[in-house]
Structure 1
Amino acid sequence: MSDKQTSDWNTRYAREDYLFGEAPNAFLAAQAPRLKAGGTALAVADGEGRNGVWLAQQGLDVLSLDSSAVAQDKARRLAQARGAPLRLELGDLAAWEFPPARFDVVAAIFIQFAGPALRARLFEGMKRTLKPGGLLLLEGYRPEQIAYGTGGPRVVENLYTEAMLREAFADLEIVELKAYDAEIEEGAGHKGMSALIDLVARKPA
């Protein structure tokens, strides 16, 4: 990410409350039965930590990765308040090297700041860093979200379609891929009727 993008995110996160709330994303929380305590997890662009903290509360060893120091300070406070051990790493996602076969779970929730070129890099990195048999959990907005205007980018090429995700993750076993509209309330950042798409995929063993 550019210095300006990082600065913009730092500015967005510089508020008393949590921009996207303190509760985990609903799609992610619904995946609890698929998670195994004792495993490792990477929370990509985890921001203020709501999802990484929740994963840690499920007994996973979690690395919360983000480019915003302001967000990570808030993630650290949230983890301490919840008594959840959370490892934090400040990193530029445009340059971060995803270590091969490191994580049992990769969670990527609303990482749609990424345009097509960066998105391709992130998707490849996320696949590479999964262990064989590892689980990818991804939620994003579909192009119809622009009409709702209740969160996410207003740039259509950053949004996901079923066809695009099927192609991008064709080398994984797609366990669930679902497009739907739902009312969500995740702080001030995501609030209202939303055009969502969820992906659960497993790296072949």
Structure 2
Amino acid sequence: MSAPDRDRWNEKYAKSKPSSMVQPDEWLVEAVRLIGEESDGLQSSTRTLDLACGRGHNAIWLAQQGCRCDAVDISANGLELARRCATANKVEVGWIEADLDDWTPSRGEYDLVAVFRFLDRETVPPIVRAALRPGGWLIYETFAAAQLERPDSHITNPRFTLSPSELLNLFPDFDVVTNREDVLPDRTVQRFLGRRRSGGN
């Protein structure tokens, strides 16, 4: 991302009112349920990372499930809203203000990485691979290419959308539980849940 990106998001969040209501993405909740069917599920020792977390709703929800969660975003204003919400809900999250272009996680530190409504083909895959331990989970959702066909779409640049098989190609070292396109009332998204294979680079 860039300084104009940071300024744009800070301006957006500066207009937002603080809220204590936690509204996780529905795909996060469903994917966590699927993880529970495939493994022992989330534990108090589970380390999770939310990339481009925005107001932090997904990170806060993961913390409410008992996980130890870190969350990264470029916007100081967005993170301030997230901190207030986390405090109101009496959970702790490690909030990290950083540009993902310049940020590197500790290698193999996390059991789960979540990415929602963010797509950078050059940046995200290396961060995910650095962050996730072998056997760790990736939950991903962002706009599908079919979003461009919607008359109500605010997305007009194909660069910000995914083709149906693209996440399979970006993460070939993952065993895929789900890779699907979902048409929702307000958007069309690509959803992915995969588990990093042991020995993946």
- Which bin holds the TM-score, normalised by the shorter protein? 0.7 to 0.9
2:43 corresponds to: 37
The answer as to 2:107 corresponding to 1:100 is yes
State the shift of 1:120 in Å: 2.2
SS of 2:172 mapped into structure 1: coil
2:180 corresponds to: 178
1:201 to 184, 194, 197: 194
Q: Any runs of at least 4 consecutive aligned residues in structure 1 with deviations exceeding 6 A, and if so which? A: none
Asked whether the 8 Å contact 1:18–1:48 carries over to 2, the reply is: no
Moved more, 145-154 or 56-65: 145-154
TM-score by length of 1: 0.86
The answer as to 2:11 corresponding to 1:5 is no
Q: For residues 102-159 of structure 1, what are the alpha-carbon distances to aligned partners after superposition, in whole Å with 9 as ceiling and x for unaligned?
A: 10000001113x3xxxx22211211221011100000011122123265664211221
1:46 to 50, 53, 60: 53
5 Å-filtered alignment, 1:125-144, equals 125-144=127-146
* Higher RCO structure, 1 or 2 (CA under 8 Å, sep 6+): 1
2: CA distance, partners of 1:94 / 1:18: 28
Asked whether the 8 Å contact 2:18–2:84 carries over to 1, the reply is: no
1:120 corresponds to: 122
Asked whether the 8 Å contact 2:56–2:79 carries over to 1, the reply is: yes
2: CA distance, partners of 1:47 / 1:18: 13
2: CA distance, partners of 1:5 / 1:16: 17
TM-score by length of 2: 0.88
State the shift of 1:180 in Å: 2.1
State the shift of 1:175 in Å: 1.2
Asked whether the 8 Å contact 1:110–1:152 carries over to 2, the reply is: no
CA RMSD, Structure 1 to Structure 2 (Å): 1.9
1:71 corresponds to: 78
1:83 corresponds to: 90
The answer as to 2:103 corresponding to 1:110 is no
State the shift of 1:165 in Å: 1.1
User: Where does the alignment leave 5 or more consecutive residues of structure 2 unmatched?
Assistant: 36-40
Q: How many pairs does the alignment contain? A: 190
2: CA distance, partners of 1:74 / 1:164: 33
1: CA distance, partners of 2:18 / 2:150: 22
Aligned CA distance change for structure 1 residues 139 and 48 (closer, same or farther; 3 Å) = same
Asked whether the 8 Å contact 1:123–1:168 carries over to 2, the reply is: yes
State the shift of 1:169 in Å: 0.8
State the shift of 1:99 in Å: 2.2
Asked whether the 8 Å contact 2:22–2:60 carries over to 1, the reply is: no
Asked whether the 8 Å contact 2:182–2:188 carries over to 1, the reply is: yes
Aligned CA distance change for structure 1 residues 24 and 94 (closer, same or farther; 3 Å) = same
